[in-house]
Chain A
Amino acid sequence: MILKMKKYITIILLLFVSSISLFAQNTDAEITGLITDKNNQPLIGVSVVVKDRSGMGTVSDENGKYKIKANAYNILIFNYVGFEKQEIPVKEKTVINVILNENSKSVLSEIVITGAGVQRKATVTGAITTVNIKSLNIPTANITNALAGNVAGIIAMQTSGEPGSNNSEFWIRGISTFGANKAALILVDGVERPFNEVNIEDIESFSILKDASATAIYGSKGANGVVLITTKKGEAGKVNISGKAEYGYKTFTRLPEFVDGTTYATLANEAKITRNQEPLYTPIELDLFKKGLDPDLYPNINWQDVMLKNGSSSDRATINMSGGGSTARYFVSGSYQNEDGMYKSDQSMKDYKTNSSMSRWNYRANVDMDITKTTLVSLGVSGFLESQNFPGLRNDIWYSLVGQTPVSIPFLYSNGLVPASGTGNKTNPWVLATQTGYREYWKNVAQTNINLDQNLKFITDGLKFRAMVAYDTRNENNIDRLKWPEQYNIERRRDRDGNLIMKRISTESLMYQTSSAYGYRTYYMEAILSYDKLINQKHRVGALLKAFQNENRTTSLTSTDIISGIAQRNLGTSGRVTYGYDDRYLAEFNFGYTGSENFKKGSQFGFFPAVSFGWNIAQEKFVSDAAPWLSQFKLRYSYGEVGNDNVGTRFPYLSTISANGIGGWNFGDINNTNNYNGLHFEQVASDNLSWEVAKKHNIGLDVSILNGLFSGSLDVFQDTRDNIYMRRSYLPVMVGLTSTPFANVGKMQSRGFDSQFNLHKKIDAFDFTLRGNITYAKNQVLKYDEEEVSLPYRMTKGYRYNQAKGLVSEGLFKDYEEIRNSPKQTYGEYLPGDIKYKDVNGDGIINDDDRVAIGATREPSLVYGLGMSLRWTNFDFNIHFQGSGKSAYFISGPGVYPFSEGAWGNILTAVSNPANRWISRSISGDPATENTKAMFPRLSYGGNSNNYRESTFWLRDGSYLRLKTLEMGYSIPQRISSKFNMNNVRFYLIGNNLLLWDKLKIWDPELGSGNGMTYPPMKMVTLGLTFNI
C-alpha cells in the first residue's frame, strides 16, 4: 500500500512540474486604471491579477490607481476583501476604471461545510454549527480552550494550565454515553487527526456536526458528534503573504491561599486543644515562628513563593504565503510557538532547564492543480515537531505544594543540607521543581493527503468524483532524566552543643534515565461519487455515495500481546439523497453502512440511517409578503441512528484460554508424581456484541432578520444511547465464570438545547456585532450494570452519569443535647461543632445508606458565552465572556480538611478567619463563636472520619463566569501601510481570563479539582502584530 502511494505521489509531482511550463507569453501592453467604491472613494490595496497568468499581479496604490501589463486576450481580476470580485476582459482597452460593489453577503448564500462537502446553509437540514475562525481570538497554542462559550453545542472544561497539558476536555452536546468512547470524531481535511495540533492560522473553516443526519455518513464513528476542520487553500491571484507575531505574559488565574507559619501553629494548637489533647506548640515556640529567630527548627515558609514564578511568557509567530494561477494554486505556512511554565529554576543549574515548557514548529503546504479542465489534483502536506519539558518529579509537585506546611521544613538548612518531610510526594517542593532532573517529551508528526476531483459533466451535468488517499505518521518519545539529592529531616531539638540533629530521609540518587516511545501510522482512503442538479429551477436533487477504508497501526511495539500488533481497521459505505423544492421544502436521507473488526464475522457491519426535513417558511409567499424583513425562518427536524464500535477492549468476541488463574492437578501417587497444569477460559468470549447505537432527535430553527442584522438558531435534542458496552460485573457466581464478559447492557439518555445568535450592524465606519451562545445538556442513566439494592437512590440507574452522591449535612452540632437527640452517626466519634447528617432513610442510624444524590456532576451541564465586537475606522474592540453552570464537586484532601493528615497539609486562609470555623467557647471565651453555620467544623488533628467525608458540607458549586477575552486593535491606515508595500498592518492587545466570578473562591473552578493539587489555568496579556503583503 505504501509503495502504491509513493507511486501516486511521484506522478502527481511530475504533473505539477510540467504544468508550470504550460504558461505562454504574448506581447503585453500596460493597462492603468482607478478603482473606487460606489461612493467614488478610491480603494487602496485592491488585488489586480491577470487570469491564468501566475505571478502577474499588483495592488492599487494609496490613490486607488493601478498599473499592470496584459495583452488583449487576458482577463483582469479585481479582488478586495469585503467587495465582490470582478473579472474584466482587456480587449483593446488600455485604461480600465473599476467600481467595486460591496459584498452584499446574502444570508441565503452562506455556505456550510458538511460531512459530504460544501452545502448552502439555506438547504441544510441537520444540526451543524460553522464557526467563524476570526471570532476565536486565541493567542494560545490550544484551539480547544477557545471552544467553551464560543461554539454552540460544546461543553468543555480546562483541567490544567501546564504548558503541554493545557488542552480542554470537550464533548459535543455533553457526555451522552458512559461507554469507553465519549469523545467526538475530529477530522482535519477529511482524515481523523488530533485537533489541537493544527496551527490556528491554517484553518479555513471549522464545523461541528451534532445530529444524526449530519453524522450518519460517518457510521460507526460519529455517535459522539463530529468536528470538521478544513485548512486553507491557495487562491488564484497575486502572491499573498501574511504574518503574525505575538508575545504574551501570563500568570495563574488563581492559586489556593494558605496561612503563614504563625497562624498555622496557632490553629494546630486549637485543633489539639479543642479535642482535649496537648497543644502542639508552646507559647515560646509560637514566638519563634513569628520572629523567625531559628529558621532551621522553626521555619516559616511560603512554598508558593519559593517554588513558583510571578509570571512567564509565551510567544508565537506564523507566516503564510498563498497564490498561484488558475491552473495551480498554493498555500504554504510555517509557525512557531513557545510557552513557558511557572516553576522557578535553580540559577546555578545552567546545563538544562527544569521548568515546564512547550514549543512547536508547524508547517503546511496545500497545492491545488488543474490537470485538465475537469480534473483537480490537490496535495496537502503538513506536520509539526513539538517538544515539551517538565521537572523530573512533576507529578508530585502539586501534591507536595498543597501538603507542605509553612512550619514543616525550611527550603534549605543553614548547614546546606536539603530538607524533606518525607520521600516521594512529600519531598520538599523546591527540590521537586528544581533538583530532580527533567523530563523531555517530543513528538513529530507528518501528514499527507492527496485528493483527486474529477468533474464528470461529460457524462452528465452535476456528476462529480472525488478520491483521497491520506497517510499520517506520528512519533512520541519520552526521556526522563531523574535524580534527587540526599535529603534530611531534623529532631525538634538541638544537641548538647546546640547543633542540629540530622536524620537522613533519603540517600542521593545520581541522574538515571528511563524512556518510552509511542507511535502510530494511519492510512486512509476514500472515494466519493456525487450528483447535484437543479431541475426546472425548482427541483434541487442530490445524491452521494462514499466509500472509505481506515487503518491505524501502532509503530512502536514492545508488547508481547498479539493484539497490540494488529492494525485497527474500519471501512464502510455511506451515502445521502437530498431533495429540495424551490429551496422551501427540503428532505434528506443519509446512511452509513460501516464495518468494524471489533465484532465477530457476520456481525461486523452495521447500518445507520437518518432522515431530516427542512421547511424554509420565510420563502413562502404569504410570509415574504407579510414579513419581508424576515430573511430566513427555517424549521428543521432530524432523526437517525449512529453507531459506536469502541468497546475499550479489542476483539472481545475472542476468548483466551490459559493456565492463568487456575490450579493444576497431580494425578499420581506419592512416588509417581504426575502433574498437569490446569487450563480454563482466562477471558470468556463476548461474541454476541453489537454496536452501541445512538438514536438522535433534533428540532432546529434558523432565523435571520433584515438580511443579517439579527441571525440565530436554536436546536433542541434528545440522544438515547442504547447497547452501551459494559463489563457484566454482577453475574451470579454460580454461572461459573472466572472472567467478566462484555455486553451491550447500558442505556443513557441526554437531552438539552444549544442556541446562538448574532446581531450585526454597520453604520458608515462603525461596525458592531453582538453574539452569544448557550449549550445545555443533561443526561440520565437508564440502564446500568449494577446490583439491585433496596434503596433505589443508591443505584446509578436513574441518575446522571458521574452524579455526585453523599450525605446531606444539616450544619454543625450545637451541643451535646442535640447530639443525644439526633440519629446515631456511625463514622466515628463526634462532638458539638462536628457535622450533623440527615437520616435520609429514617432508620435512626447515619451510615452509607443515607448517601443520596446531591448537586450535579463535575462536568458542567451548561456552558454559555456572550461577546461583542466594535470596529470604528482603524480601531477595533472585542470583549467575550464565558461561563459555565450546573457543575458541582466535592473538595477534599490535606489542603482542604484542616490537619486531616496531621503535620501534612496546608491550611487555607479561609480557615484562619474565626467567622469561618466553629470555635469552642472554652477557647474563644465567647458562645457566639460556636457558629453552627460555619464553613469549617470544629478543628481536629490527624483526621476526623465523621467530618471528612463526602457530604453536602464539602460539595461546592463549580459554576463560574469569566472575562475570557478582551481585545483592542489598531490597524495602520492603508495609505501609510502601502508605502511599506504592506496591505494591512494591525497591532493588538489581548487579555485572557482577566476576571473571574464564581462560588468556589479557593482555586480556579474550571479545573473541576477537588483538592487544588493541579496547575491552574493562566491569565494572560498578549501583544501582537499581523501584517499582510
Chain B
Amino acid sequence: MKKIIFVSILSGMLLSFGSCAGYLDMEHFFKDRLNVDSVFTKKDYSDQWLAGVYSQLQGENADVASKGNTPFNYISDDMFYGDRPGGDEYTVYKNGTYTENNKQGSWASCYQGIRDASTFIDNIDMNRQMSQSEIKDTKAQARFLRAYFYWLLIRKYGPVPILPVEGIDYTADYNALAVARNSYDECVDFITGELAIAAKDLPLNRSARYITRPTRGAALAARAKVYIYAASPLFNGNTEMSDLVDDQGRNLIAQTYDESKWARAAVAAKEVMDLGVYHLFTVAFTDTTQSLSQPKTIIPPYHAVYSENNFPAGWKDIDPFESYRQLFNGAVGPAANPELIFTRGFNQPNEGIDMMVLHQMPYTLKGWNTHGITLKHCDAYYMNDGSDVPTNPRVSGYTANNTSNLPLPANVSLQYANREPRFYASVAYNGSIWDNTSAKDADIGKKFTQTFYYRGESDGKQASSPAFHIRTGIGIKKYVNPIDSWLIGGGVVPKAEPAIRYAEVLLIYAEALNELTKSYTVANYTGEGSITVGRDVAEMSNAISPIRIRGGVPDFDASIYANADLFRKALKREREIELFAENHRYYDLRRWKDAPVEEATPVWGCNMNMTKAQRDLFYEPVVISSLPTIFAKKMYFWPISQSELKRNKKLTQNPGWTYYY
C-alpha cells in the first residue's frame, strides 16, 4: 500500500512538473503594448483608431481630387486631361481599353475602412475616458464612415457584397469566407438604414476643430444621394442589366420600375432641408473695385423680380460671380461655409485640389496646362439673361478693350461675352487673365497675365510637348484663387474638398419630385413621423431658383416646370453647370443612362492649329481627334479585379468584364 502511495505521489509530482501552464504564460510581457482593450478604453487611442478609419477616405476614395486619384472627374463628357503617360491615359479610359486591374485601390481601402469601422463600433462602448455622448457621437461617426465606404463602392462598382457587421472571420476556410454580391437595393437599404441610425446620434454642427467629422446633415444628405441613385434609370427597372447577377443567377439590379424610390429620395433631401442648418453661400454686392482681382459686382441684366429683391428672392444684395467663385477657391473655410454639408477638409496629401489647379494653370505661369473642358460643356453655360448661347452661327468679333464687355479683357472672342457669372468662375476661355497675385520677385511681372491658346503662343499647341496644351482651347478656372501662383514666391490657397454641398441636396429634391406622378407618404429617418411628397412645381422651384439666382440667372420658365421631360432636361443641365468638376457628371450620365449618347458623341473644341493671325479660324469648331469618345455597356460599372474574383469564388463580375483564366 505504502509503495503504491509513494509511486502515485512521485507520478503526480512529475505530471504537475510537466504541465504547469504558468511556465508558458508570456502574456505579461505584452500587457503594456497596445491591444484592443487599451486602445478602446482610452479616449486618445480611440480617436486615433477612428482617424485611421477616416484616413481611408483619401486617395482613390476622395470625392474631389485630381485625376491620379479620381479620373472619374475627368473622363466624362465635360472635362479632359492631356498628360500622363505620354498623353494616352485619358484615351485608355475613354476608349474603354482599361483593364480589370486599373484603379482598384478603392476596393481595398473601402473594405479596410469598413472592417476598422466595425471594430470601432464593436468596442467603443468599453471606453472609460469618453462621456456617453462622446461614445455615441464617435460610434455614429464610425457608422457613417462604414456606410459611406459602401456608398463609394456601389457608386463605382454597382452592387457589392455587404459584409457581416462583425467583419468576415479571416480564420475561416477560403470557401467559407467567400461572400456573394448583394443586390443593389439590398446595398441601398443597408447603407441608408445605417445612415439613419448614425444621423440620430450625430450633432447638427461641428466646431472648426472637428469640421471634417460628419454631422446629422451629412448623414442625411449622403442618404438622399444614395436614394436618388437607387431611383435612377440605371438601377430602377433596368432590364438592360438583367445579366448582372450573383453566383445563384439572382438579378442584382431591380428589373421592375418602382416610382416610390424617387419619393424616398425626395423625402430624404427634404429632411436635410428641414434641418434648417444649411443655406447657399453668397458674397455681398459691392460697387467698388478694390483691386484687379476683386472687381466690383457685375450686375446681371435687369430682371423685374430678381434685381429688386435680396437673396434668395433676388440678386440685389449679392455678387453672383464671387458667390460661386469663392465657394471653391479657398476664400472661405469649411467652418464658415453654410453650404458645405460634408468635406474631407484638407486631407489629401497628394493629387488633391491644389494639383488640379496646378494642372489647369498655363505653362507660362509654371502650370501643367493640361486640364480643360469640352466645347459642349462651354456651350452648356447660359447667357446672362438665361437664354442659350447662339451656336449657329456663333457670335463673331472680339473685345476692343478691357472694359467694353466686363469682365472680358481685350482681344477676347465675343462668344464669351455676356455669359452667366458661373461661366466666368469656371471657364478659362482663350484670353482670360490669370491673376497670380502671390507671385513675387522675379516673376512679379507675370501677375495678371492674359493667356492665349493660339498656335505659336507659349500656352498653345507645341510640337515639343504635345501633352501639355489645352486640347480644346478652353481651360478651367474653377478652384483657382486670384492669389494662387506656382511662380517664384507664390503660394496656393488651401481648398477644402466639397464632397456634399447644399445645392446638390436642393437639386436632388427637385429631380426626385419631377419624377413623381402621384403623391407618396414616406416615413422619416427617425421612423417617428412621415413626409408626403408629390410633383409640386412650387416646391421644385423653391429648391432650384436660389441656385440659379445665386448664379445670377433667372429661374426656369413656367413652361419648363409644367413639363416633366423639359424639366428633367433643364435639371440635368443645371447639375452639369452647378456641380461642374465636383466628380458628379461621370456618375450622373451613367445613372440617367445618358452616357451611351453623351459620352459617345465626339469632343468638339477650338482649332488649336490656328495662330493668332488666324484667330477667326481658331474659333471655327473642330472635332478633337486626340480625345476619343466611345461608350460600351461595360463602361457603366467599374470592373472587379480578377484577383479578387479568384479569391472570393462567389463574387460575380460586372457585365462586359472578364473573369480570370
**Residues on A close to B: CB < 8 A?**
459-460, 463, 465, 527, 529, 545-549, 562, 565-566, 569-574, 593, 595-597, 601, 604-605, 651, 654-659, 662-672, 674, 676-680, 684, 686, 688, 728, 730-738, 741, 743, 787-791, 849
Contact = CB atoms under 8 A, between A and B. Distances in A.
Contacts of B644: 732-734
B18 A667 contact: no
A664 B55 contact: yes
Contacts of A686: 171
B27 A601 contact: yes
B6 A666 contact: no
Contacts of B651: 732
A596 B648 contact: no
A671 B208 contact: yes
B360 interface: no
Contacts of A737: 112, 115, 170
B21 A680 contact: no
Nearest to A563: B29
10 contacts: A546-B18, A547-B17, A570-B24, A663-B52, A672-B211, A679-B51, A732-B644, A732-B647, A733-B111, A787-B646
Interface string B612-651: 0000000000000000000000000000010110111101
A659 B107 CA distance: 21
Contacts of A670: 330, 333-334, 346, 494, 496
A789 B647 CA distance: 10
Nearest to B24: A597
Contacts of B58: 663
Nearest to B344: A665
Contacts of B213: 667
A548 B18 contact: yes
A741 to B, nearest CB: 5
Interface of B: 3, 6-7, 10-11, 14-15, 17-21, 23-27, 29-30, 33-36, 39, 45, 47-56, 58, 107-108, 111-116, 160-161, 163, 167-168, 170-171, 174, 177-179, 208-213, 330, 333-335, 345-347, 349, 494, 496, 641, 643-644, 646-649, 651, 660-661
Which 6 pairs between the two chains have the least Cβ-Cβ distance?
A: A678-B52, A547-B18, A736-B115, A573-B18, A663-B55, A676-B51
B328 to A, nearest CB: 14
A545 B177 contact: no
Nearest to A740: B170
B24 A571 contact: yes
Contact of B116 (A597, A680, A789): A680
A669 B168 contact: no
Contact of A657 (B35, B174, B210, B334): B35
A741 B170 contact: yes
Contact of B648 (A574, A668, A734): A734
A787 B19 contact: no
Given A569-B26, A678-B55, A735-B170, 15 more contacts: A465-B10, A547-B19, A548-B18, A571-B17, A654-B35, A657-B35, A667-B210, A678-B49, A680-B116, A732-B651, A733-B641, A734-B160, A735-B167, A741-B171, A790-B661
Contacts of A658: 34
B45 to A, nearest CB: 6
A569 B107 contact: no
Contact of B26 (A572, A597, A662, A679): A597
B55 A662 contact: yes
A465 B10 CA distance: 9
Contacts of A741: 170-171
A613 B655 CA distance: 63
Most interface-central of A651, A686, A734 (chain B CB within 10 A)? A734
Nearest to B167: A736
A669 B209 contact: yes
Contacts of A677: 48, 51-52
A686 B172 CA distance: 11
Contacts of A604: 21, 24
A688 B15 CA distance: 26
A459 B6 contact: yes
A99 B51 CA distance: 93
A674 B661 CA distance: 48
A736 B161 CA distance: 13
Contacts of A789: 646, 660-661
B18 A679 contact: no
A368 to B, nearest CB: 23
A549 B335 contact: no
B33 A562 contact: yes
B14 A527 contact: yes
Nearest to A459: B3
Contact of B170 (A572, A657, A669, A728): A728
A655 B21 contact: no
Contacts of B48: 659, 664, 676-679
Nearest to A596: B24
A664 B52 contact: yes
Nearest to A531: B7
B25 A601 contact: yes
Contacts of B115: 735-737
Contacts of A597: 24-26
A595 B21 contact: yes
B234 to A, nearest CB: 23
B30 A562 contact: yes
A677 B48 CA distance: 5
A743 B173 CA distance: 10
A529 B10 contact: yes
Nearest to A567: B26
A732 B53 CA distance: 19
A569 B210 contact: no
B481 to A, nearest CB: 13
B608 to A, nearest CB: 38
B42 to A, nearest CB: 11
A527 B334 CA distance: 74
B34 A674 contact: no
Contacts of B45: 679
Nearest to A677: B48
Given A601-B25, A657-B34, A662-B52, A672 B208 contact: yes
Nearest to A593: B19
Contacts of A574: 18
B158 to A, nearest CB: 15
Contacts of A571: 17-20, 23-24
B211 A667 contact: yes
A735 B111 contact: yes
A654 B30 contact: yes
Contact of A736 (B34, B112, B345): B112
B339 to A, nearest CB: 15
Contacts of B107: 733-734
A655 B171 CA distance: 14
Contacts of B334: 669-670
A549 B23 contact: yes
Contact of A668 (B25, B50, B170, B210): B210
B24 A529 contact: no
Most interface-central of A529, A562, A674, A791 (chain B CB within 10 A)? A674
Most interface-central of B19, B35, B334 (chain A CB within 10 A)? B19
A69 to B, nearest CB: 45
B26 A651 contact: yes
A865 to B, nearest CB: 39
Contacts of A674: 209-210
B471 to A, nearest CB: 34
A679 B49 contact: yes
Contacts of A573: 14-15, 17-19
Given A651-B26, A669-B209, A787-B647, A730 B18 contact: no
A655 to B, nearest CB: 7
A655 B36 contact: yes
Contacts of B333: 669-671
A669 B333 CA distance: 7
A664 B170 contact: no
A790 B645 CA distance: 13
Contacts of A788: 646, 649
